[in-house]
């Protein structure tokens, strides 16, 4: 009888043990499933926490060429930021061929060894098409600039229709166009450059139509014109961001309106500073004195433009957005190491340079001293006490002083 009881007791213990082991296996399976779900979500939406000594691979597709001064400054600063942040940065140029820019996005995302992140530009539908291509390849993408109204209807916003499109940096192009217009109109008004009919006539030089950069800058000009009821825009002609083309166009405009029609032109609005420099050259050819009897301004900080502000040939230039790709790299770095930037994708404000402050700017920026900037100080991962990003022109200037 004792042996039978002992045998039954052992069997009962075995059943209890098996039940506990089975339940434990089920519990561990649930834990593993939940962990996997959260891990995948983290990778998709919060960046992957990678090894600190492994470079982050980023490809930037520029719509410009290596020779364009503004874009050269922008990529130069981006390369300095990449070096500080342990980012392997590849820069590809489409040389103003927008079809080629989209093709580059397709080629890069089709590689067996894809980059971790792709940066594209919102110009002539390049941004929207590239975002869709990269999303199919599951390559995380960031946009510099903005989409057109039609693109926004199709593409949406970051992390909505295309989950791989994780963010963007926009600049206040509307505000920049407005500041340029106010600057030239104020100067022309003070110099009393009204025509005999009491109107203040101006020319406009656009960049490339159907781009968010150009459309918003022109919209800013039109806003300023509503505040000057006597100001009249004679013509807005695209010069495709090019200095020589702008010079050729403005020479023709002066011949048409001033020489033949007797219309006094008091100001020239330009969507970028390269074209403003070309307009100043054309004005001199037409016998005008830029800064005296015709006032010119444009957008983008380029060295030649700033020097002409110092000399008075340009009444101002507006800029401050040459660091945008560098800022995107800081955001990528932090996202990659688990600090999401969602909610901090505000527009970059622009600043006006005049003769009063151009000297200070040239003192620190004329030699492109980007290597002196410590971009690690802008990272929220490397500086946990930062509550928000301080991507400002003033902060860059403070580091260079």
Model pLDDT for residues 158-181, shown as the tens digit of each residue: 999 999 999 999 999 999 999 999
Report the range of poorest mean pLDDT among 32-36, 103-107, 223-227, 268-272: 32-36
pLDDT the model gives residue 46: 46
Q: Is the pLDDT of residue 77 over 80?
A: yes
pLDDT the model gives residue 18: 53
Q: Is the pLDDT of residue 343 over 90?
A: no
Pairing of strands 351-353, 316-319: antiparallel
Higher pLDDT, 110 or 346: 110
pLDDT confidence tier of residue 21, bands split at 50, 70 and 90: very low
Q: What is the mean pLDDT of residues 340-359?
A: 89
pLDDT the model gives residue 9: 44
Q: What is the mean pLDDT of residues 219-230?
A: 97
Q: What is the mean pLDDT of residues 248-277?
A: 95
User: What would the pLDDT profile of 284-336 be if each residue is shown by its tens digit?
Assistant: 999 999 999 999 999 999 999 999 999 999 999 999 898 999 999 999 999 99
pLDDT the model gives residue 368: 66
Instruction: Answer yes or no: are the C-beta atoms of 312 and 297 closer than 8 Å.
Output: no
DSSP 257: I
Q: Is the pLDDT of residue 52 over 80?
A: no
Q: What is the mean pLDDT of residues 22-48?
A: 44
User: What would the pLDDT profile of 115-151 be if each residue is shown by its tens digit?
Assistant: 999 999 998 889 999 999 999 999 999 999 999 888 9
Sheet of 87-93, strands arranged across: 87-93, 56-62, 117-122, 140-145, 165-171, 347-348
The whole model's pTM is what?
Answer: 0.81
Q: Is the pLDDT of residue 382 over 50?
A: yes
Helices within 53-211 (DSSP H only): 69-84, 98-109, 126-136, 149-155, 173-190
pLDDT confidence tier of residue 370, bands split at 50, 70 and 90: confident
Chain mean pLDDT for the chain: 88
The whole-angstrom separation of Cα 133 and Cα 118 is 11
Q: Is the pLDDT of residue 10 over 90?
A: no
Which of 98, 169, 166, 107 lies closest to 133 in space, CA to CA? 107
Percent of the chain with pLDDT over 90: 72
pLDDT the model gives residue 158: 96
Q: Interior CA angle at 145 toward 144 and 148, to 5°? A: 135
Residue 118 exposed, middle or buried by CB count within 10 Å (0-12, 13-18, 19+): buried
Pairing of strands 351-353, 347-348: unpaired
Which of 322, 279, 285 lies closest to 297 in space, CA to CA? 279
């Amino acid at each position: 009888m004792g042996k039978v009881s002992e045998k039954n007791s052992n069997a009962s213990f075995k059943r209890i043990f098996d039940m506990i082991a089975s339940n434990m296996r089920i519990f561990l399976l649930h834990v593993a499933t939940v962990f996997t779900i959260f891990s995948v979500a983290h990778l998709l939406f919060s960046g992957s926490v990678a090894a600190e000594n492994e470079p982050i691979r980023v490809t930037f597709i520029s719509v410009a060429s290596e020779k364009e001064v503004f874009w050269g400054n922008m990529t130069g600063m981006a390369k300095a930021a990449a070096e500080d942040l342990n980012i392997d940065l590849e820069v590809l140029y489409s040389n103003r061929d927008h079809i080629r820019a989209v093709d580059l996005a397709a080629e890069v995302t089709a590689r067996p060894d894809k980059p971790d992140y792709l940066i594209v530009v919102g110009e002539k539908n390049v941004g929207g098409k590239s975002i869709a291509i990269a999303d199919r390849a599951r390559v995380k993408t960031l946009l510099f600039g903005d989409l057109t109204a039609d693109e926004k209807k199709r593409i949406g916003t970051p992390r909505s229709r295309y989950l791989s499109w994780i963010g963007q940096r926009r600049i206040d192009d509307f505000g920049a166009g407005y500041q340029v217009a106010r600057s030239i109109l104020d100067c022309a008004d003070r110099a009393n450059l009204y025509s005999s009919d009491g109107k203040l006539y101006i020319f406009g030089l656009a960049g490339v139509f159907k781009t968010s950069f150009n459309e918003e800058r022109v919209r800013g000009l039109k806003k300023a014109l509503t505040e000057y009821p006597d100001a009249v825009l004679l013509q807005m002609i695209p010069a495709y961001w090019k200095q020589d083309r702008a010079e050729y166009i403005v020479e023709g405009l002066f011949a048409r309106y001033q020489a033949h029609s007797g219309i006094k032109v008091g100001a020239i609005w330009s969507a970028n500073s390269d074209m403003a420099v070309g307009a100043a050259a054309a004005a001199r050819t037409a016998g005008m004195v830029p800064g005296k009897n015709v006032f010119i301004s444009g957008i983008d900080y380029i060295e030649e433009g700033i020097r002409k502000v110092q000399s008075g040939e340009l009444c101002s230039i507006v800029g401050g957005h040459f660091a945008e790709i560098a800022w995107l790299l800081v955001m990528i770095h932090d996202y990659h190491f688990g600090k999401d930037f969602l909610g901090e994708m505000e527009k970059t404000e622009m600043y006006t340079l005049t003769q009063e402050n151009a000297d200070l700017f040239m003192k620190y920026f004329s030699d492109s001293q980007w290597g002196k900037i410590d971009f690690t100080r802008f990272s929220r991962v490397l500086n946990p006490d930062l509550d928000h990003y301080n991507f400002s022109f003033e902060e860059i200037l403070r580091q260079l002083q």
